[in-house]
Structure 1
Amino acid sequence: MTNPSRRRFLWRLVSRSGLMAALAPPALALAQTAPAVGAPTDWPTRPISLLVGFAPGGGTDLIARQIAPRLSQLLGQSVVIENRAGGSGTIATGQAARARPDGYTLLLGHVSSNAMVPAITQVPYAPATAFTPILLIGSVPQVVVVRAAAPPRSLKDFIAWTRGKPGGVNYASSGAGTQQHFAAELFQQATGTTMTHVPYRGSGAALTDLLSGQVDVNFDTVPTVLQQIRSGQLRALAVTSRQRAASLPEVPTLIESGVPDYEIGAWYMLMGPAGLPPPVVERLAAAMRQTLATPEVRARLEQLGTEIRILGPADAQAYLRAEITRWARLAAAKHIKPD
């Protein structure tokens, strides 16, 4: 082929290639120009781990087991609950912070490990920046419970009883920095009482010792102690929310019982490690909204005492930061230290 002929042949080839590129479908053109990494359009393709920072049977575990089956259906992959108890929830939380941000490791975030424990001790993650909040699910009020045989019949009785023996009343918690710990410290600040903290590795062990009389009181979540309240083994003195709990309508709030502005609850938030791709966040948030809108799931959560309050990713992030600030201030004011 002569040089002029060769040049004409190459020109026709280039022109045709340009025309083919121009006529290519948008998806094909995007595939030719955009990198595949960071665009998980087929997510999820394998099971998802949902980390829970407390032992089976506790409030966080119970909430996780209500949402996981429906979430699995909506995502088309199994959502497998993994209990990593210990460190007041920080073991599981730290594992989530270190996970690859690919959507296959999630955390059922909790007020203790995500806002309270970091207020009193160093944790192996930055609570405000190490996570991608996906959706605030809501909160569960706590309830002040004593054994049925204990002297106090009401919260006012309990306050008087505690004031009569400063430091002699022992309160249980699921560990230093948990919501039970902070609820009791907030209570002491508000009522001028003094109690002794007895931390456990989880709600189950704390409940066992409360029932056996090894400790005097607990500020536990409603789901954890609801069965024992209904069976008459424990006496509920007051709930920690501003309104009465739907599952315990006969039990007054602390505010009703004479403790002004007292409010605390165990909130739950679905989150992943920092840097979770926006498409994954959006799909998870949508699936969680659908899960919480499922009548059976919603009914079970409400039976457990959950007050559903949905906040999307941006609002959940703001809520998380506000909670971190709130509990850091209480820890500083009360000089709360790890036991």
Structure 2
Amino acid sequence: MNIKPLRLIAGLALVASTAAYAQSYPTKTITMIVPFAAGGPTDTVARLVGQSMSKSLGQQVIIENVGGAGGTIGAARVAKADPDGYTVLLHHIGQSTAPALYRKLTYNALDSFEPVGLITDVPMTFVARKDFPAKDFKELLAYVKANKNKVTYANAGVGSASHLCGMLFMSAIDTDLTTVPYKGTGPAMNDLLGGQVDIMCDQTTNTTSQIKSGKIKAYGVTTKSRVASLSDLPTLHEAGLPNFEVAVWHGLYAPKGTPKPVVDSLSKALQTALKDATVKQRFAELGTEPVAEARATPDAHRAFLKAEIDKWSPIIKKAGVYAD
């Protein structure tokens, strides 16, 4: 028996089935996993984007917060989910730092997912409790070095953006501080507002309103240029820490094996969301903006993620920071 025609028929049937599935997708609610606590900056980005994507997809996109272990618990859940397009992951820069930070990941940060597209690059701000004694960043540096055993640095947990920023800061000033890890940015910010911890480095999506209301002190932003929504705030480079730069990008992922037409549908809905006037306005208010359309594609995101993993792995390994 010649089995080649049978293989061809089977292949054509699979293509037809996949195409039919993609044409009908989605037919039910889509769950967007955010691997951090509700109320944090990544959660804010997800809710804005998810609400807009719901409109163009014709089905509700609900947010489910699955926090813990620097985002790896939520990411692992999506990696193991059915590759049908109904469970997706919205993660930040931690997707690229996890391979170096965690010795026992149950997934491959690059190969266990189908990247859908990048969403935004969020600047970070260096902030402190309202009554912190330093008036500006120059005084903060002097105070931190003189009181390194007393100053506490809050972060949202190992692998979080605030942890990464703090690690780079301490490396840059060659001073180790007492770090206080939390289970998410929300709880960390609450304790900063309450004066239980001293300083923190966090995304503008979580700090802008607190800075403008005067509830915390701000010393600088971590990008090359000033942020429009916080135009009076200098860059850390301007303030006295040369070439210090870190931004927190966010991206969308589906489980590995999700049909390409479904991934493309999600990517198209994401691109539409990033053009949404409401999303753009809210992003601007939070000190960020959507990425260019060319970056909100599967291929661009995959290439970017690989480059970020290659970038951060040697930095983290050199610092000797690991998590089980």
Is TM more than 0.5 here? yes
Q: 1:324 to 1:31 in 2, by over 3 A?
A: closer
Counterpart amino acid of residue 38 in structure 1: T
Partner residue in 2 for 1:157: 139
1:49 matches 2:34: no
- Per the TM alignment, residue 65 of structure 1 is displaced from its structure 2 partner at its CA by 1.1
Q: Which residue of 1 aligns with 2:318?
A: 333
Question: How many Å separate the matches in 2 of 1:131 and 1:172?
Answer: 31
1:246-273 CA distance string (max 9 Å, x none): 2211111111112222111221101111
Contact 1:117 1:176 in 2 (8 A): no
The 5 Å alignment of 1:21-170 reads 34-35=13-14, 36-39=16-19, 40=21, 41-112=23-94, 114-121=95-102, 122-170=104-152
Q: Is the 8 A contact 1:116 1:179 kept in 2?
A: no
Normalised by the size of structure 1, how large is the TM-score? Answer: 0.87
Residues 14-54 of structure 1, C-alpha deviation per residue, up to 9 Å, x if partnerless?
Answer: xxxxxxxxxxxxxxxx9995235433221111111100111
More deviation in 241-250 or 47-56?
A: 241-250
Q: 2:165 aligns with which of 183, 188, 193?
A: 183
Amino acid at match of 1:120: L
CA distance in 1, matches of 2:91, 2:176: 30
Per-residue CA distance 1:163-219 (angstroms, 9 max, x = gap): 112343211111011111110111112222221211000111111211222211010
Q: 1:18 matched to which residue of 2?
A: none
- Larger Cα Rg: Structure 1 or Structure 2? 1
Letter in 2 for 1:324: I
- CA deviation after TM superposition for structure 1 residue 76, in Å: 0.7
1:222 and 1:33 map into 2 onto residues whose CA distance is 50
Q: Tell me, what secondary structure is at the counterpart of 2:44?
A: helix
Do 1:162 and 1:194's aligned partners in 2 also have CA atoms closer than 8 Å? no
What do residues 121-156 of structure 1 show as CA deviations (whole Å, max 9, x unaligned)?
Answer: 122211121111111011111111111211111111
- Unaligned stretches of 5+ residues in structure 2: 1-8
- How far apart are 1:299 and its partner, in Å? 0.9
State the distance in 2 between where 1:56 and 1:230 align.
22
Deviation at 1:307, TM superposition (A): 3.2
CA distance in 2, matches of 1:244, 1:146: 19
User: How many residue pairs were aligned?
Assistant: 309
Q: What is aligned with 1:256? A: 238
Q: Distance in 2 between matches of 1:162 and 1:250?
A: 23
Which of 302, 306, 309 does residue 317 from structure 1 map onto?
A: 302
TM-score, L = length of structure 2: 0.91
Would you say 1:268 and 2:250 are equivalent positions?
yes
CA distance in structure 1 between the aligned counterparts of 2:119 and 2:173, rounded to whole angstroms: 31
RMSD value over aligned CA atoms?
1.8
The Cα of 1:116 is off from its aligned counterpart by 2.0
| Counterpart in the other structure of 1:199 | 181
Identity level (%): 39
Alignment of 1:282-301 (within 5 A): 282-301=264-283
* Distance across 2 between alignment mates of 1:62 and 1:33: 43
